[in-house]
């Protein structure tokens, strides 16, 4: 019976499927068939194919693939390269992002990963933090925290002691190697990280620094800017630190952050201070490129009132 | 009972007597017993220190070496020797006698414990109901007597039978207590007495002391009195002498005054004692010429007094003044009105009623307390009320409709607006429900009839039962009736209002949006503001405590009015602007409440937004109402706080709009870019990072560019939106002659499919606003450490845009300018930026080599700073000492045992020697006898 079921599945999966069915299948596959199947190896073909497609489908197939790799000893050559390519901003708005982040964390769990790979992932994530919503930024910080803790060798990303002589010679070599440096590579402030590079080996992440994380300190959302401070503790000392649980952050969204903010008790309410209480709702000096004139037909009703302010923009 | 008491008293007396004579009977015995006979003279010797040696510890100085030695030997005799003796024996004799194992107890104490035990046995449960047959008691008492009482009374008085009985009774009574108390000392009567003796004596001593001190005090008082009397007499004599002017002849006149002064000074002391003298005194002083003080005083009398200046008014008083002014004006108006036209219109009645109340309450101190002082006319029965309620319910709907019909001229918007209004109502209801949790919950913030009932109940709790309801009902009735009248005689009313330009000066704070609408309907903008200001003045919080609640309700209503106004189709923007000021001032008066209002509204707005995102119908972008409310809050509350109860949710909401709303029309783009500029204005001060706004701007710029970005880039940066939809919306195809800034209000006013949004002119104008915003963000975020990463791609995008052919020159210029600005800032940052150094290590202090000195150094004390080491050292030392002590003890034990053994051996030897000697002596005797030949003789003789 089991064999028959497996055969049926495999033959179905071998068919060239349209994209929507693909999505459907990959979504249900990890839930249902993997534990039932008699022999898992044939369906790995399907999964690798779907993983190669990229985008949402590969995110979905990632979990099944992960099970195959960990439990059934599947070899997958460019797994991490593909995973690296999956890190795009859309992931942070996708529906199944929680599962994806947890998987990402567990994929990067091994301390045996090479430093360049971990650094590339870290830098990529931190670069993403510039474009994602606050909930995504929280997940990114948690992921970076875990990566930094697992790989003490990449802590130079957040803490680099400034030895000028060493760096200068290195930078000189860089200027020869790197074509995008364009003469400014002598400076320490230049980011050597190549975000466009899809191969983590060539991304030069180890020579960069996580300025983006520093940027997040000024994030408008207090949760994020508070959370960044957790990276300040020395994560190389493993005894004193603990890993973050990605699950706590992975399912975050605007709604959760907003709810947390609304749930806070109102203790005191500071008010804005003005020397002169402003009289207009929108002043044009504050809003470049806009005017707030009343139109003639709109102001027809309030006819006896004085004419609305018609100041022009100062810029 | 009385007898026994008497006896007890007698006993007490006897005891007292005995105490005095023989205070320390039993204790003395004990002392004698305890005092050891010092048979070893070495035990009395104290260890002597001959010289003081500097820095040596003086520990264990005072001890008697001999004594401790003999003690140790004693101890060994009791333990070690016993063991030794027992070691050769197989059976043991155990002494189970009471107190025998306890060395502390003397013979006497042992006896006490034993007798106690005996008592216990006797009065145990079994023998509780046994009748005592005198013998046992006698035995007990005699046994006790041998130690305690009888010894004491021996020589005092003959021991009589009565006393004995009393004692028996006492002992019986005590037996109950004895069962609980096992303490050896309490058990015996004798010891108890001894204790009492000590106690009594102490008391006596204390009494004596007290008596003595009392006596001493009394004597002192007596002396004092005598002294005073003497003084008085002396004074009398002296004054008589002085008045007789005998002295005056003797002394100079200059000194006379001094003397008098002295006398004056003395005399006030005795003022109480004799009044006559004091009566005389002023006469004496008045006779003399005025001194310097008096002169000054007389001069100052005619000086002009300093006038007290007006105190600066407190805020409460200012509010009070304002209110009084308004009251006066209102009264005048009422007078004028009644004089001119006396048409008893219902509308007029409505206007009049609050003023009547006012007039009544104005007399009192508490002006806001209008509920209690209520005119009897409005008081109605229950039946009437119910009828009214029904009526009100009916007319409530009408009223809604009518007010809507009035407020909005255009019929096509009616539906939309009514929806909006019902939304508002829902909103308010929700608010009211949720606000019940808050301590400042506004009960009157309910505008529907259903909630009104709750409201009433609450008021019932607080105040009298019927009156407020009646009043409320009547008020409601008045309003509804007024609305009806409005509905019916609209035209007539219009005329009337325009003719009746003057507003009521005192206005009760409206409790619902309908009331407010009725109040401000058909008025000009300025009049509305005047109305609002008058409401605020006549219900100022500082006037009365209840006004806070009223103002809170009014604030909610006004905010609602503001929101409704913002969504009206023919927008009265000027009125919106005018309402800003009162709203801001009011929220500064009730900040807590305004924050809660804002939070509730934000929450509601977000829920609506989520709904619309889900259903995907219409535009999700915020309406003008939401935008103006957000702007209002960002003006009321500070935007730069790290975390603010209102602003943080507000900015979260704005960013969510920017991130999640799909762009489907030109209007959406305009609204979005306006939202960006609002975010910019909010983050300008605090320079907070807001990625959503930048991404949005960037999306718009990318959409504007004709060149298709490579797919990779698109996937990198524009994941969230489908660019293809936006693209046609912003692509400028033809030349645009001149670009004026977008009019926000007209954009908001326009429907989505308006032709304006398709025109190139509009696109150019949007791009202008986008680039202005971008410039603002560039300026704000110039200092952030990843500025180049964020903005450099945008700069390349801008350069690409500037090179497009159809781009108007002004736009091109702007694009280039901003791109240049970005480049400059990025370069500067590249120069300045350092790799991160987030791990701040504490600087390790340099090891100091300067010698450390201790103040008050004591030799031998440990100054080691390392705690653990000190601890370890201490433990080690303790261990060493203990080991040493143990070894010493063992050695001494050995010596002791050896000693004992040696003694035993010596004893044995002695015995042996004795036996040996005896035998030897015998043998010698024999031998000598034999030698002397007496053997035979002796025998022979004996025979």
Instruction: Work out the minimum CA distance from B848 to partner chain A, whole angstroms.
Output: 26
Q: Do B573 and A299 touch (CB under 8 A)?
A: yes
Q: Do B572 and A258 touch (CB under 8 A)?
A: no
- Rounded CA-CA distance A134/A222 in Å is 10
Q: Which of A149, A221, A256, A282 to mutate to test the interface with B (most CBs of B within 10 A)?
A: A282
For residue B837, list its beta bridge partners. Answer: A159
**How far, in whole angstroms, is CA A38 from its chain's centroid?**
37
Dihedral (CA of B201, B204, B210, B216) sign: negative
Q: Do B637 and A134 touch (CB under 8 A)?
A: no
Give me the phi and psi of B291, to 5 degrees please.
-85, -170
- Which of B689, B719, B769 is closest, CB to CB, to A219? B689
Of B790 and A23, the one with more pLDDT: B790
- Rounded CA-CA distance A167/A183 in Å is 15
- Rounded CA-CA distance B482/B484 in Å is 5
- Which of B576, B681, B836 is closest, CB to CB, to A210? B836
- Rounded CA-CA distance B243/B238 in Å is 9
The predicted model scores a pTM of: 0.54
Nearest in space to B537 (alpha carbons), one of B678, B303, B380, B368: B368
- Which of B581, B692, B785 is closest, CB to CB, to A133? B692
| Residues in Cβ contact with B878 at an 8 Å cutoff, skipping those fewer than 6 apart | none
* Helix B525-538, helix B573-589: angle, nearest 10: 10
Mean pLDDT on A39-67: 71
Q: Following CA atoms B493, B494, B496, B502 in sequence, which dihedral angle do they give, to the nearest 10 degrees?
A: 120
Element (H, E) at B913: helix B867-932
pLDDT at B219: 94
Provide, as residue numbers in chain A, all residues whose Cβ is less than 8 Å from the Cβ of B494.
none
DSSP SS3 for B846 = coil
Q: Do A160 and B651 touch (CB under 8 A)?
A: no
Instruction: Work out the minimum CA distance from B603 to partner chain A, whole angstroms.
Output: 8
SS3 annotation, B379-395: CCCHHHHHHHHHHHHHH
Provide, as residue numbers in chain A, all residues whose Cβ is less than 8 Å from the Cβ of B683.
220
- Rounded CA-CA distance A203/A185 in Å is 15
* Helix A79-86, helix A56-71: angle, nearest 10: 150
Q: Do A277 and B581 touch (CB under 8 A)?
A: yes
Q: End-to-end alpha-carbon separation of chain B, Å? A: 92
- Which residue is closest to B581 within chain A, CA to CA? A279
- Which of A221, A278, A290 is closest, CB to CB, to B580? A278
Element (H, E) at A147: helix A134-150
Q: Do A254 and B572 touch (CB under 8 A)?
A: no
A297 touches chain B (CB under 8 A): yes
pLDDT at B936: 59
Assess contact for B73 and B896: CB atoms under 8 A: yes
| Residues in Cβ contact with B428 at an 8 Å cutoff, skipping those fewer than 6 apart | B445, B446, B447, B513, B556, B560
| Residues in Cβ contact with A144 at an 8 Å cutoff, skipping those fewer than 6 apart | A122, A125, A126, A210, A213, A231
- Which of B577, B603, B749 is closest, CB to CB, to A281? B577
Nearest in space to B558 (alpha carbons), one of B509, B623, B505, B624: B509
- Which residue is closest to A306 within chain B, CA to CA? B574
- Rounded CA-CA distance A87/B503 in Å is 66
Assess contact for B493 and B343: CB atoms under 8 A: no
pLDDT at B502: 59
What is the pairing mode between strands A290-291 and B742-743?
parallel
- Which of B644, B712, B772 is closest, CB to CB, to A270? B644
Q: How many CB atoms lie within 10 A of CB B857?
A: 8
Q: pLDDT under 50 in chain B at which residues?
A: 1-35, 136-196, 267-286, 340-385, 387-388, 390-500, 710-720, 942-943
Q: Do A219 and B837 touch (CB under 8 A)?
A: no
Q: Do B649 and A232 touch (CB under 8 A)?
A: no
Q: Do B745 and A280 touch (CB under 8 A)?
A: no
Mean pLDDT on A191-203: 80
Residues 266-285 (A) with a CB less than 8 A from some CB of B: 266-267, 269-273, 277-282, 284
Assess contact for B759 and B797: CB atoms under 8 A: no
A189 touches chain B (CB under 8 A): yes
For residue A150, pLDDT beyond 80: yes
What six digits make up the tokens of B504?
Answer: 């009521």
Q: End-to-end alpha-carbon separation of chain A, Å? A: 78
pLDDT at B658: 86
Across B380-389, b (16+ Cβ under 10 Å) vs e yields beeeebeebb
Ramachandran area for residue B856 (φ above 0: left; ψ -120 to 50: alpha; else beta): left
- Which residue is closest to B697 within chain A, CA to CA? A131
- Rounded CA-CA distance B936/B498 in Å is 181
Across B796-828, b (16+ Cβ under 10 Å) vs e yields ebbbbbbebeebbeebeebbeebbebbbebbee
- Which of A155, A279, A288 is closest, CB to CB, to B677? A288
DSSP SS3 for B834 = coil
- Rounded CA-CA distance B341/B717 in Å is 73
Nearest in space to A157 (alpha carbons), one of A81, A213, A101, A226: A213
DSSP SS3 for B462 = helix
- Which of B570, B606, B717 is closest, CB to CB, to A301? B570
Q: Do A131 and B717 touch (CB under 8 A)?
A: yes
* Helix B546-567, helix B624-636: angle, nearest 10: 140
- Rounded CA-CA distance B650/B38 in Å is 97
Instruction: Work out the minimum CA distance from A48 to partner chain B, whole angstroms.
Output: 22
Provide, as residue numbers in chain A, all residues whose Cβ is less than 8 Å from the Cβ of B834.
162, 188-189
Assess contact for B331 and B359: CB atoms under 8 A: yes
What six digits make up the tokens of B610?
Answer: 């989520």
Instruction: Work out the minimum CA distance from A286 to partner chain B, whole angstroms.
Output: 6
Q: Do A130 and B596 touch (CB under 8 A)?
A: no
- Which of B572, B596, B638 is closest, CB to CB, to A266? B596
pLDDT at A251: 83
pLDDT at B299: 82
The ipTM (two decimal places) reads 0.80
Mean pLDDT on A278-295: 64
Provide, as residue numbers in chain A, all residues whose Cβ is less than 8 Å from the Cβ of B594.
269
What six digits make up the tokens of B743?
Answer: 């009019």
- Which of B635, B673, B834 is closest, CB to CB, to A272? B635
Q: Report in angstroms the alpha-carbon separations of A212 from A215, A218, A222, A228, B520.
A: 5, 10, 16, 11, 54
- Rounded CA-CA distance B82/B448 in Å is 102
Q: Do B652 and A257 touch (CB under 8 A)?
A: yes
Of A252 and B416, the one with more pLDDT: A252
What six digits make up the tokens of B714?
Answer: 């698109």
Q: Do B742 and A290 touch (CB under 8 A)?
A: yes
A-B CB pairs within 8 A amount to 271
- Rounded CA-CA distance B294/B286 in Å is 11
pLDDT at B898: 93
Q: For the residues of A53-94, what is the DSSP string, one character each?
A: H-THHHHHHHHHHHHHHHHS----TTHHHHHHHH--GGGGGS
pLDDT at A19: 67
For residue A291, list its beta bridge partners. Answer: B743
Instruction: Work out the minimum CA distance from A301 to partner chain B, whole angstroms.
Output: 8
Provide, as residue numbers in chain B, all residues whose Cβ is less than 8 Å from the Cβ of A88.
715-716, 719
Provide, as residue numbers in chain A, all residues whose Cβ is less than 8 Å from the Cβ of B632.
281
What six digits make up the tokens of B786?
Answer: 């990843």
For residue B934, list its beta bridge partners. Answer: none
What six digits make up the tokens of B348?
Answer: 């007029």
Residues 52-71 (A) with a CB less than 8 A from some CB of B: none
Nearest in space to A44 (alpha carbons), one of A56, A54, A36, A34: A34
Q: Do B786 and A214 touch (CB under 8 A)?
A: yes
Residues 203-232 (A) with a CB less than 8 A from some CB of B: 209-216, 218-222, 225, 231-232
Q: How many CB atoms lie within 10 A of CB B622?
A: 24
| Residues in Cβ contact with B197 at an 8 Å cutoff, skipping those fewer than 6 apart | B15, B19, B23
- Which residue is closest to B717 within chain A, CA to CA? A89
For residue A137, pLDDT beyond 60: yes
- Which of A161, A222, A306 is closest, CB to CB, to B648? A222
Give me the phi and psi of B837, to 5 degrees please.
-135, 75
Length of chain B: 943
């Amino acid at each position: 019976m089991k064999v028959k079921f497996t055969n049926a599945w495999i033959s179905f999966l071998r068919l060239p499927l349209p994209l929507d069915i693909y999505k459907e299948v990959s979504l249900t596959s990890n839930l249902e068939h993997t534990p039932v199947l008699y022999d898992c190896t044939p369906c790995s073909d399907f999964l690798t194919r779907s993983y190669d497609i990229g985008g949402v489908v590969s995110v979905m197939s990632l979990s099944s693939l992960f099970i195959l790799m960990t439990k059934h000893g599947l070899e997958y050559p460019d797994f991490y390269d593909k995973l690296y390519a999956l890190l795009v901003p859309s992931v942070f708005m996708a529906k199944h992002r929680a599962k994806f982040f947890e998987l990402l964390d567990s994929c990067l769990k091994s301390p045996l990963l090479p430093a360049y790979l971990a650094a590339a992932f870290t830098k990529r994530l931190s670069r993403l933090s510039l474009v994602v919503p606050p909930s995504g930024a929280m997940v990114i910080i948690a992921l970076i925290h875990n990566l930094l803790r697992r790989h003490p060798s990449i802590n130079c990303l957040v803490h680099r002691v400034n030895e000028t002589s060493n760096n200068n010679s290195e930078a000189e070599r860089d200027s020869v190697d790197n074509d995008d440096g364009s003469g400014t590579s002598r400076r320490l402030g230049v980011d050597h990280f190549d975000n466009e590079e899809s191969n983590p080996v060539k991304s030069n992440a180890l020579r960069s620094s996580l300025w983006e994380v520093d940027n997040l300190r000024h994030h408008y959302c207090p949760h994020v800017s508070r959370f960044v401070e957790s990276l300040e503790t020395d994560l190389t000392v493993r005894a004193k630190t603990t890993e973050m649980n990605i699950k706590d952050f992975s399912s975050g969204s605007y709604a959760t952050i907003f709810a947390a903010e609304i749930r806070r008790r109102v203790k005191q309410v500071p008010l804005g201070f003005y020397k002169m209480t402003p009289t207009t709702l929108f002043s044009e000096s504050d809003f470049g490129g806009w005017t707030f004139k009343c139109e003639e037909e709109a102001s027809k009703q309030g006819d006896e009132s004085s004419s609305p302010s018609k100041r022009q923009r100062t810029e | 009972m009385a007898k026994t008491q008497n006896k007890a008293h007698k006993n007490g007396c006897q005891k007292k007597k005995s105490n005095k004579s023989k205070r320390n009977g039993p204790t003395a015995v004990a002392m004698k017993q305890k005092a050891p006979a010092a048979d070893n003279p070495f035990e009395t010797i104290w260890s002597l220190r001959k010289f003081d040696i500097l820095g040596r510890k003086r520990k264990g100085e005072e001890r008697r070496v001999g004594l401790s030695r003999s003690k140790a030997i004693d101890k060994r005799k009791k333990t070690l020797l016993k063991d030794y003796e027992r070691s050769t024996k197989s059976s043991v004799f155990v002494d189970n006698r009471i107190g025998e194992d306890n060395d502390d107890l003397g013979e006497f104490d042992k006896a006490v414990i034993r007798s106690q035990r005996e008592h216990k046995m006797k009065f145990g449960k079994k023998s509780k109901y046994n009748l005592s047959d005198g013998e046992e008691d006698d035995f007990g008492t005699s046994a006790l007597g041998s130690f305690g009482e009888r010894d004491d009374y021996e020589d005092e008085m003959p021991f009589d039978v009565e006393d004995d009985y009393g004692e028996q009774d006492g002992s019986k009574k005590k037996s109950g207590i004895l069962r609980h108390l096992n303490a050896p000392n309490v058990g015996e009567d004798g010891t108890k007495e001894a204790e009492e003796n000590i106690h009594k004596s102490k008391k006596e001593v204390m009494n004596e002391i007290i008596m003595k001190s009392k006596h001493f005090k009394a004597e002192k008082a007596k002396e004092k009195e005598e002294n005073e009397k003497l003084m008085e007499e002396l004074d009398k004599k002296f004054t008589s002498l002085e008045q007789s002017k005998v002295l005056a002849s003797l002394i100079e006149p200059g000194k006379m005054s001094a003397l008098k002064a002295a006398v004056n000074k003395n005399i006030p002391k005795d003022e109480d004692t004799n009044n006559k003298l004091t009566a005389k005194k002023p006469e004496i002083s008045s006779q003399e010429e005025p001194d310097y003080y008096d002169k000054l005083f007389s001069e100052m009398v005619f000086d002009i007094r300093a006038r007290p200046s007006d105190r600066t008014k407190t805020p409460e008083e200012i509010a009070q003044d304002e209110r009084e002014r308004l009251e006066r004006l209102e009264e005048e108006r009422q007078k004028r009105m009644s004089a001119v036209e006396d048409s008893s219109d219902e509308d007029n009645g409505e206007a009049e009623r609050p003023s009547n109340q006012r007039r009544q309450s104005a007399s009192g101190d508490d002006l806001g307390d209008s509920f209690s002082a209520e005119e009897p006319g409005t008081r109605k029965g229950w039946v009437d009320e119910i009828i009214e309620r029904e009526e009100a319910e009916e007319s409530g709907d009408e009223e809604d409709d009518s007010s809507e019909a009035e407020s909005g001229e255009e019929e096509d918007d009616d539906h939309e607006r009514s929806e909006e209004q019902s939304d508002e109502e829902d909103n308010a209801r929700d608010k009211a429900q949720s606000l019940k949790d808050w301590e400042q919950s506004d009960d009157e913030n309910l505008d529907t009839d259903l909630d009104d009932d709750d409201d009433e109940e609450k008021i019932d709790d607080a105040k009298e039962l019927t009156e407020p309801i009646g009043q409320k009902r009547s008020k409601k009735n008045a309003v509804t009736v007024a609305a009806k009248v409005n509905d019916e005689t609209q035209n007539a009313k219009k005329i009337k209002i325009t003719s009746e330009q003057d507003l009521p000066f005192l206005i009760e704070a409206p409790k619902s949006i309908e009331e407010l609408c009725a109040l401000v309907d058909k008025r000009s903008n300025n009049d509305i503001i005047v109305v609002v200001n008058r409401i605020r003045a006549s219900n100022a919080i500082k006037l009365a405590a209840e006004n806070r609640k009223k103002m809170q309700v009014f604030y909610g209503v006004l905010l609602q009015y503001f929101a409704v106004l913002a969504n009206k189709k023919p927008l009265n923007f000027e009125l919106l602007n005018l309402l800003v000021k009162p709203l801001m001032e009011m929220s500064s008066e009730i900040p807590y409440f305004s924050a809660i209002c804002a939070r509730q509204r934000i929450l509601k707005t977000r829920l609506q937004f989520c709904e619309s995102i889900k259903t995907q119908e219409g535009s999700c972008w915020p309406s003008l109402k939401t935008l103006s409310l957000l702007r209002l809050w960002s003006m009321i509350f500070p935007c730069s706080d790290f975390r603010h109860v209102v602003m943080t949710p507000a900015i979260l909401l704005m960013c969510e709009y920017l991130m999640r709303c799909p762009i489907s029309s030109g209007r959406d783009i305009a609204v979005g870019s306006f939202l960006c500029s609002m975010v910019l204005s909010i983050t300008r001060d605090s320079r907070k990072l807001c990625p959503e706004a930048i991404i949005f701007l960037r999306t718009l710029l990318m959409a504007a560019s004709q060149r298709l970005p490579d797919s990779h880039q698109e996937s990198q940066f524009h994941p969230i939106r489908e660019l293809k939809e936006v693209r046609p919306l912003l692509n400028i195809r033809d030349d645009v002659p001149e670009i004026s800034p977008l009019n926000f209000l007209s954009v908001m006013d326009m429907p989505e499919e308006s032709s304006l949004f398709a025109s190139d002119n509009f696109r150019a104008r949007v791009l202008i606003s986008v680039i202005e915003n971008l410039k603002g963000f560039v300026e704000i975020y110039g200092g952030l450490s990843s500025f180049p990463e964020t903005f450099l791609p945008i700069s390349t995008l801008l350069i690409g845009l500037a090179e497009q052919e159809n781009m108007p020159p002004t736009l091109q210029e702007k694009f280039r300018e901003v791109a240049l600005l970005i480049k400059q800032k990025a370069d500067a940052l590249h120069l300045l930026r350092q790799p991160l150094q987030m791990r701040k290590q504490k600087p390790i202090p340099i090891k100091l080599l300067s010698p450390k000195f201790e103040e008050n150094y004591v030799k031998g004390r440990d100054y080691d700073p390392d705690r653990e080491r000190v601890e370890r050292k201490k433990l080690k030392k303790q261990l060493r000492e203990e080991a040493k002590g143990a070894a010493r003890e063992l050695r001494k034990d050995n010596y002791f045992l050896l000693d004992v053994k040696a003694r035993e051996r010596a004893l044995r030897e002695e015995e042996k020697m004795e036996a040996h000697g005896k035998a030897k002596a015998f043998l010698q005797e024999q031998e000598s006898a034999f030698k002397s030949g007496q053997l035979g003789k002796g025998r022979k003789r004996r025979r």
